[in-house]
Structure 1
Amino acid sequence: MRITAKVVKTVATYAEEFTGGAFKYHGTSGDIGHGTGYFDGIKQQVWIGRNASKEAAAYYIGGMLGWARQSGTEIPEDAVKYGQAVQESYQHNAKAMASQNEGEADGKFRAVVKAES
């Protein structure tokens, strides 16, 4: 699967819905020399460069995984299937995997914060 802006938006929408708004995607912007930039809607996170779409998608997938692990809730089946297809596209990309790990840590943290409030 080719990770495009549309794929990033779909994954981020799944993450936002699943986490009750703990994750949010802002959108894209062009950057001369760097290509498309992907902007997170909560953190001041921007992914730019050749693998930016993979890194952004990985972050939101990681967010869902971390949220699910911390909260004990199951990710909806359609999101799981889509997420697995996307993961296969970046599983050998070190930066994308680092983004997934960051998303997982954020997901766990945000689930704890929500549970405590």
Structure 2
Amino acid sequence: MKGQIKNAIITSAVLSIHDHGFLDCWLMLDFGGSSQGFGGYALYLPESFGHHQLLSNAGHFLYRSLKVAGVDEFSQLRGKAIRADADSGRVYGIGHIVKDDWFYPETDFAQEVKA
């Protein structure tokens, strides 16, 4: 143990890419009279970072979904217009509504495995 054990209520949870350009997560904790943030770790570094590696399919999926939708926070995804490459049985990829920015998880994950 490094501190004190306290009870807390999570008042918000945010997945975002806006602070430094990488995927991070913050949980805001209410201790009853005071509050504090927990998080801030880089969960995924995009290709623009020199140390980029796809070590987390979850991080890559979340990051690319946010970028394609043009939002900084997971909560902002609802109601956003995007394009989809789909047939009646499956959505293969999603794309930005006006930019030529597409996310095909199957392709991205296969390329990283081969590297």
- Shorter chain as normaliser: what TM range? under 0.3
TM-score normalised to structure 2 length: 0.28
TM-score normalised to structure 1 length: 0.27
Larger Rg over CA atoms: 2
